[in-house]
Chain A
């Protein structure tokens, strides 16, 4: 007995096996691709073929609906963990020259003496993204935006590389180190808030998230409030807005105070 006797319709096992399998397949296909799509009164199909395509998952563009006009400009930056990963010495040098005009607010060593953010040793991808967003208008600030509008892509990259290269220094007015509040290490799972530390250091770091240790308390609080109100909206996929909206004012205070009180040495050495 060889396969020749097996694969023939005169073999009852073959006929039955193939027949039953095919019958089940056809019946379930009719149910899944024709009957069930039409059983949904809230969806309209032009014809049977339309229903089949929809059930098969053929990508469709709804012709009649135009994409809603975006009221606000959103960030267009794409970041990967390779963004600006290997800067050259020249790029850093050019960045240093360009950075002289930033020093009034962000400090000559990259540590601010006002409540502007500290930039020394910040991740390059973070600075890169913010400068792009200021330039495109996705983020705006009366002082910062005019500086960004005239930067070229290369200048933005150079500045980012330069600041990332600077050593991480203590804040201008260091405060005593505070213990970790719950929002930083646990988040608030029932409100859908991941721990701050899961992206911003303390627990882990995610691409595009700044490390926050030693940052100005007033600045961080203002940013969280701006995210919560939607006034700031350049976070990709609303990552920060969703979180900030769900935070209580006390949690915002606690997180800002905690990160402001941390020395930069505690930033996880990942690079």
Chain B
């Protein structure tokens, strides 16, 4: 039974409301810079929108989903009332307040710096302070997850921590540590300049700090999705988790290797030594491992469900799956997008291949496919699955849910495949205008138009998602019972201490951060003459 439904509902509602707004901006961006939109004659409006879209989609929306889901996991998997409810509300309101504080200067055109901050470009101070508040709010959640687990451990000494909670806390630690990079960048470098205390900035060092955050943040976004793969889907389709141990190892690997690899975002940066770029590239290759383990384990878990339903044969069992079940549909779509996105990722992480797609539309196509596609479609699934438990009402629109998932999947493919393609042809990202009348880029016009169509399909799907949730709040009341997670084929009775606690893996994560980031940061911080004058948004 979820005791703090209001808290969880507040997180999800705010997350999905801002998602709706940012999604609309995304579709508009795609349209306005395409051959069928008319040029705005003012690129500033485009960058304003892009900053808002990126800030909301990157910082606010996934953080709130992870938090709300985390609270739900803590209460239901541990079967224990949440400890620190007041603090949880404080964290929530900090995020709401921070989001408003960040978005206001963006809307006024005072902070069109894009969500990656782009130093030496400097926007209005309140934009950065708003982002800091969002992060601080989420750190409260990290602390609460840790505390709740500790309270549970004291009451259940030596017992195996339920998988969902183990993974959830791993994700929260990953986030706590990875956010430190951007926090250092903001507090030591950007905010002093935005507040007028300094007027030069070391843009190279700032980029290194940001890369510290930029990769592992993606795995933080991914955590709720992976938790849903392991602990929701098998239960929803009547299967079993194939291996609880394998699941734990995957989450542990994410914790250790997602962090020390962020410099694959700075392959083209001259201020980083090539040796460090190589190490980061090699560790990036390792991060594919937990994903491959996951794909294997989940396929096996799904096969168990099919065989329990009478499926036979080497592949014949696939037909026996409950294909009308939205959870299965979401999983299948998510895996397909993960597969294509992962293949693209192999190109991004290869030093030489990266050079040909660096800063092109390929990159935006890639992360929309992985993040907007594979990850967000599981956020939808989580919301659908939890909604009856939060509202105390039935979810009656199963057909609409299936339609919504199909639309998101189709929309994402139609949007991102041509998006990758024009990137390969060399179309740069983060440009407000393209002259498709120029013979040199006219052949790309058709691909971009496809992306626009895909974008509007996504928008339709997003609106449908919000409608379904809203209708779910008015449906007839029904008791959904206790919220449960999938159980494993062999439910663990004892787990080795290393697979039941996080300390060792957090220590390795920090150690690798020091080996892989320590010298480059020290070197840049102590080299004189590496700062450049800040460029203030709106100043002439």
CB contact under 8 A between A185 and B41, given known A11-B498, A32-B276, A270-B539:
yes
List, in ascending order, chain A residues with CB within 8 A of B512's CB: 21, 25
Whether A190 contacts B503 by the Cβ 8 Å rule is: no
A268 and B511 CA atoms in complex are apart in Å by: 52
Q: Which B residues are in CB contact (< 8 Å) with A13?
A: 496-499, 504
Supposing A18-B508, A270-B540 touch, asked if A6 and B498 sit within 8 A by C-beta, the answer is yes
A261–B256 Cα gap in the complex (Å)? 63
CA distance A207 to B539 in the complex (A): 7
Cβ of B434: which chain A residues have Cβ within 8 Å of it?
Answer: 189
> Which of A79, A186, A207 interacts with B39 by CB under 8 Å?
A186
Question: Given the known A-B contacts A55-B274, A80-B199, are A198 and B282 also in contact in the complex, defined by CB atoms under 8 Å?
Answer: no
Count of residues in B whose CB is under 8 Å from the partner chain: 52
B438 / chain A contacts, CB cutoff of 8 Å: 189-190
Q: Which of A56-64, A68-76, A99-107, A216-224 contacts B (4 or more CB under 8 A)?
A: A56-64
Establish whether residues B435 and A56, one from each chain, have CB atoms under 8 Å apart when the complex forms.
no
Give the distance in Å from the alpha carbon of A184 to the alpha carbon of B505 in the complex: 56
Shortest CB-to-CB span from A39 to chain B, Å, is: 11
Q: How far is the CA of A84 from the CA of B440 in the complex (A)?
A: 44
Contact across chains for B519 and A1 when beta carbons are under 8 A apart: no
**Complexed CA–CA distance, A36 and B41 (Å):** 48
CB-defined interface of A155-195 with B at 8 Å, one 1/0 digit per residue? Answer: 00000000000000000000000001010011011100000
**For the complex, is A28 an interface residue (Cβ under 8 Å from B)?**
yes
A146 CB to closest chain B CB (Å) equals 30
Residues of A1-39 at the interface with B, using a CB-CB cut-off of 8 Å, are: 1, 3, 5-7, 11, 13-14, 17-18, 21, 24-25, 28-29, 31-33, 36-37
**In the complex, how many angstroms separate the beta carbon of A227 from the nearest chain B beta carbon?**
21
Minimum C-beta distance from A126 to chain B (A): 9
Residue of B158, B505, B515, B540 near A17 (CB, 8 A) is: B505
B286 CB–A CB distance under 8 Å? yes
Residue B14 lies at the interface, judged by CB distance under 8 Å to chain A: no
Cβ–Cβ < 8 Å partners of A17 in chain B: 256, 498, 504-505, 508
B519 near A6 with CB under 8 A, answer: no
Q: Is the CB of A56 within 8 A of B519?
A: yes
Q: Which chain B residue shows the least CB distance to A36?
A: B278
- CB contacts (< 8 Å) of B508 on chain A: these are 17-18, 21
Residues of B within 8 A of A189 (CB): 431, 433-435, 438, 441
Which of chain B's residues have a CB closer than 8 A to the CB of A3? 501, 503
Residue-wise, chain B 414-445 has the 8 Å CB interface mask toward A (1 for contact) of 00000000000000000101110010110000
Evaluate contact between B498 and A190: CB separation under 8 angstroms. Answer: no
Hey, what's the 0/1 contact readout for B518-540 against A, CB within 8 Å counting as 1?
01100100010000011110111
Contact flags B380-412 to A (C-beta < 8 A → 1, else 0): 000000000000000000000000000000000
A138 to B498, CA, bound (A): 67
Q: Are the CB atoms of B273 and A28 closer together than 8 Å?
A: no
The CA of A80 and the CA of B277, in the complex, are separated in Å by 33
Contact B271 A1 (CB under 8 A): no
Chain B residues with Cβ under 8 A from A36's Cβ?
Answer: 274-275, 278
Residues of A within 8 A of B277 (CB): 32
Who on chain A is nearest to B524 by CB? A57
**Bitwise interface map of B from 27 to 48 toward A, beta carbon under 8 Å scored 1, else 0:** 0000000000001011110000
Give B244 Cβ to nearest chain A Cβ, in Å.
16
- What is the CB-to-nearest-CB distance from B472 to chain A, in angstroms, rounded to a whole number? 44
| B498 CB contacts on chain A under 8 angstroms | 6, 11, 13-14, 17
B272 within 8 A of A: yes
A54 contacts the other chain (Cβ, under 8 Å)? yes
Find A203's partner among B42, B501, B505, B539 (CB 8 Å cutoff): B42
By a CB distance below 8 angstroms, the chain B residues around A188 are: 435
A206: chain B residues at CB < 8 Å are: 535, 540
- Chain B neighbourhood of A266, CB < 8 A: none
Interface residues of B (CB under 8 A from A): 39, 41-44, 158, 199-200, 256, 271-279, 282-283, 286, 431, 433-435, 438, 440-441, 496-499, 501, 503-505, 507-508, 511-512, 515, 519-520, 523, 527, 533-536, 538-540
CB-defined A-B contacts under 8 Å, sample of 20? A3-B501, A6-B498, A11-B498, A13-B498, A17-B504, A29-B275, A32-B274, A32-B275, A37-B275, A52-B275, A54-B273, A57-B271, A57-B520, A58-B273, A58-B523, A59-B523, A80-B200, A185-B39, A203-B42, A209-B540
**Given A6-B498, A203-B43, 13 extra CB contacts under 8 A:** A13-B496, A17-B505, A21-B508, A21-B512, A24-B282, A32-B279, A55-B274, A55-B278, A56-B519, A190-B435, A203-B42, A207-B540, A270-B539
- Closest 8 pairs (CB-CB, A-B): A57-B273, A55-B275, A205-B540, A13-B498, A32-B278, A81-B539, A32-B275, A28-B282
